[in-house]
């Protein structure tokens, strides 16, 4: 039941302006990485309590953006992250990561 609520919240958040660019700030809960620190996905608890899972797309590193591998440090320290993302066929894809 809780999983269904989380999925509905994620779909509702992502469908606002479907296909557009969105931003959310929160704390990193999990990071799924392969050897070599290539991050495939991560889970974020948004400031409103919603838990969202993001795939990692090409990430903009300009003007304070950081590489996905840095998410692991944010997970350990609890420091907030601001994620810019797109909704691609009901899949949230992170395109920019910044200190929150």
Q: Taking residues 61-85, what's their average pLDDT?
A: 95
In three-state secondary structure terms, 16 is coil
pLDDT digit string, tens, across residues 9-57: 444 444 444 568 999 999 999 999 988 778 999 999 999 999 999 999 9
CATH architecture of 2-99: Beta Barrel (2.40)
**Residue ranges per structural domain of the chain:** 2-99
pLDDT at residue 95 tops 60? yes
Percentage of the chain modeled with pLDDT above 70: 81
Q: Residue 62 burial (CB < 10 Å; 0-12/13-18/19+)?
A: exposed
Question: In the predicted model, is pLDDT for residue 62 greater than 60?
Answer: yes
Half-sphere exposure (CA, 13 Å, Cβ side) for 78?
0
């Amino acid at each position: 039941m809780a999983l269904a609520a989380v999925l509905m919240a994620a779909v509702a958040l992502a469908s606002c302006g479907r296909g557009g660019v969105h931003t959310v700030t929160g704390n990193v809960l999990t990071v799924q990485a392969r050897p070599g620190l290539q991050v495939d996905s991560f889970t974020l608890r948004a400031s409103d309590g919603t838990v969202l899972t993001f795939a990692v797309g090409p990430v903009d590193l300009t003007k304070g953006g950081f590489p996905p591998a840095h998410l692991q440090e944010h997970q350990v320290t609890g420091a907030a992250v601001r994620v810019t993302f797109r909704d691609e066929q009901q899949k949230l894809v992170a395109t920019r990561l910044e200190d929150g």
